[in-house]
Amino acid sequence: MKKFTKVLSLVLAASLMVVMLASCASSGGDEIVFGTNAEFPPFEFVTANGIIDSYDGIDIAIAKQIAEDNDMTATIENMEFDSLTIALQNGQIDAAIAGMTVTADRAEAVDFSTPYYTATQVMIVKEDSDIQKATDMADKRIVVIQGYTGEVCVQDLGYPYEAFKKGTEAILELVNDKCDVVVIDSATAEKFIGDNEGLKIVEDSEAFENEEYAIAVKKGNTELLDKINASIEKMLADGTVSEIAAQYAESDTEEAE
């Protein structure tokens, strides 16, 4: 009887360990939680058949590949762009992939990966607008998206502006003649003018410098950053990033498959 109890408790202990190991694996370790703001086509947007749940875009494809390269799975947490840094700091997400421009200010709060995309700010205006360069915005009604680098650019120029939370809201203001110009990232601007008639893009390379997009991790998380960098560098070298970018630039991001 005694022996039987001993065997039974050993069996129980062993099965408990199996259960604990299994739950350990599913509660982290092999998963990367990417935070994004899925309001930024072609980099991230919500669609019926996304490649990760209902999320799709250049960044989502890159996130998926990074996870695959490391035998991990990628999950997406959608939140406001302004919340990404805090979510990294409090461990709600492991990495932020959101067309995020590397800036000195942000680099004080997070660590950035190797950059994977170069963009610039542009001005979206009505087709008949007389705005030709950034200084022409001086006496115009300017709209930016809150917390984006476009807001910082307009602040630096010293012009008053109104900030909206979403690119689509900003574009609606322009379409409805409630503002004269929206300052936003180049590839996203291309998408918005493709989706709305009567708009055009005005560039000013003297006023708006090139920006580099990179993935952000919590300061000091070198373990994850090394994995992300190895994967990004491979994808840059073998042309995967350019392929993905070209694919989403051409496709209809409102109904991408």
For residue 228, give every residue at least 6 positions away whose Cβ sits within 8 Å of its Cβ, in sequence order, or none: 66, 95, 113, 215, 217
- State the nearest-atom distance from the C-beta of 148 to ligand GLN, in Å: 4
Query: Closest residue to ligand GLN, Cβ-based?
Result: 101
100 versus 256: smaller Cβ distance to ligand GLN: 100
- Residue nearer to ligand GLN on the CB measure, 40 or 116: 40
Interacting residues with ligand GLN (CB under 6 A): 37, 40, 81, 98-101, 148-149, 185
- Closest approach of Cβ 67 to ligand GLN, in Å? 20
What is the DSSP annotation of the chain?
-HHHHHHHHHHHHHHHHHHHHHHHHHTTTSEEEEEE-SEETTTEEE-TT-SBTTEESHHHHHHHHHHHHTT-EEEEEE--GGGHHHHHHTTS-SEE-SSPBP-HHHHTTEEE----EEEEEEEEEETT----SGGGGTTS-EEEETTSHHHHHHHHHT---EEES-HHHHHHHHHTTS-SEEEEEHHHHHHHHHHSTTEEEE--TTTS-EEEE--EEETT-HHHHHHHHHHHHHHHHTTHHHHHHHHHHHS-TTS--
Provide, rounded to whole angstroms, the least separation between the CB of residue 211 and ligand GLN: 6
CB of 17 to ligand GLN, least distance (A): 44
Q: What residues pair up with 81 in beta bridges, in sequence order? A: none
- Cβ proximity to ligand GLN: between 96 and 131 the closer is 96
> What is the smallest separation between the CB atom of 74 and ligand GLN, expressed in angstroms?
17
CB-wise, 55 or 81, nearer to ligand GLN? 81
Min dist CB 205 to ligand GLN, Å, is 17
Rg (CA), the chain: 23
**Contact (CB, 8 A) for 246 and 235:** no
Select 30 or 254, whichever has its Cβ closest to ligand GLN: 254
Residue 75 CB, shortest distance to ligand GLN, in Å, is: 18
Residue closer to ligand GLN, measured from CB, 69 or 203: 203
**Nearer Cβ to ligand GLN (13/104):** 104
